[in-house]
């Protein structure tokens, strides 16, 4: 039943800089199964975004092995095997919302009817029907981010890679979008890899929480959640939730995430 979507084996990535090598990722081992919701959490510089970018073939690993959908990240990217949601919504300002969702579909060379159908379906999925003809600047930050999620979903990937998609939003909007994302994940049975700074967000959303620590970027702990798949925001008050959050926090502390927190 469960198949491995992402297999990471002793992966490392070292950036050569003028100040010497920077070990962004060191000795990463991680398996992600189909249907998992995996959060990567850790302080700045722990390599969580870098790991996501390696999965997406936006960065190349310098050591170890990684397979995405059973093939190399490059082959997975070329097969359009994933949808990527960036921290900034990154909508093209000269395209309307519908046209923005249409962008990857045009690149894939889909015909007009299919495009229209997918735009409508995915905008509905993120509750943006009626905003097709609006330009990005006419929408709030939260709506823009939802549009960018619709854009990633329109590719119809089994794998969704999300890099702090709600990082720039206020907490109220963020809570709301977390609920929607969870509902979406429940409905579509996709695999999600989700980068975040926020412990409550990670615990609320995930089936697996990967705690990372910096210098060198490495995995400190992998916390498997035993929360039920159906979750409301109230669950954050429950003892199980607090216990999980505590374990994540301990992992971060063990990785010295709280030492001399600069910047």
List interacting residues with other proteins (CB under 8 A): 56-58, 77-78, 80, 82-84, 86-88, 90, 92-96, 103-104, 106-108, 135, 137-138, 155
Taking the least distance from each CB to other proteins, the nearer of 88 and 222 is: 88
Taking the least distance from each CB to other proteins, the nearer of 86 and 253 is: 86
Instruction: Quote the least distance from Cβ 237 to other proteins, whole Å.
Output: 36
Instruction: Quote the least distance from Cβ 256 to other proteins, whole Å.
Output: 30
Taking the least distance from each CB to other proteins, the nearer of 96 and 206 is: 96
Instruction: Quote the least distance from Cβ 139 to other proteins, whole Å.
Output: 12
Q: Which residue has the tokens 């097969």?
A: 79
Instruction: Quote the least distance from Cβ 222 to other proteins, whole Å.
Output: 26
Helix axes 97-107, 141-154, angle to 10 degrees: 20
25, 64 contact by CB (below 8 A): no
Taking the least distance from each CB to other proteins, the nearer of 132 and 175 is: 132
Nearest to 122 by CA among 180, 205, 55: 180
Show the tokens assigned to 28.
């990463």
Mark residue 146 as left, alpha or beta (left: phi above 0; alpha: psi -120 to 50; beta: remaining): alpha
Nearest to 100 by CA among 71, 122, 81: 122
């Amino acid at each position: 039943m469960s198949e491995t979507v992402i297999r990471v084996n002793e992966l490392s990535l070292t950036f050569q800089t003028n100040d010497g090598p920077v070990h962004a990722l060191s000795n990463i081992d991680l398996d992600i199964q189909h249907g998992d919701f995996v959060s990567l959490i850790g302080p700045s510089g722990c390599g969580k975004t870098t790991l996501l970018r390696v999965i997406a073939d936006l960065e190349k690993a310098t050591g170890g092995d990684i397979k995405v959908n059973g093939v190399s990240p490059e082959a997975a990217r070329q097969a359009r095997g994933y949808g990527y949601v960036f921290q900034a919504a990154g909508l093209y300002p000269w395209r309307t919302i519908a046209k923005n969702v249409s962008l990857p579909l045009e690149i894939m060379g889909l015909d007009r009817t299919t495009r229209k159908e997918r735009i409508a379906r995915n905008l509905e999925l993120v509750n943006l029907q009626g905003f097709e003809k609006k330009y990005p600047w006419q929408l709030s930050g939260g709506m823009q981010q939802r549009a960018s999620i619709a854009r990633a979903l329109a590719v119809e990937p089994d794998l969704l890679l999300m890099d702090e998609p709600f990082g720039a939003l206020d907490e109220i909007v963020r809570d709301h979008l977390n609920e929607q994302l969870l509902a979406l994940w429940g409905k579509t049975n996709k695999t999600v890899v989700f980068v975040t700074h926020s412990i409550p967000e990670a615990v609320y959303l995930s089936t697996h929480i990967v705690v990372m620590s910096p210098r060198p970027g490495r995995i400190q702990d992998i916390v498997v959640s035993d929360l039920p798949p159906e979750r409301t925001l109230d669950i954050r008050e429950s003892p199980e939730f607090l216990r999980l959050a505590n374990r994540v926090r301990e992992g971060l502390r063990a990785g010295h995430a709280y030492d001399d927190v600069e910047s």
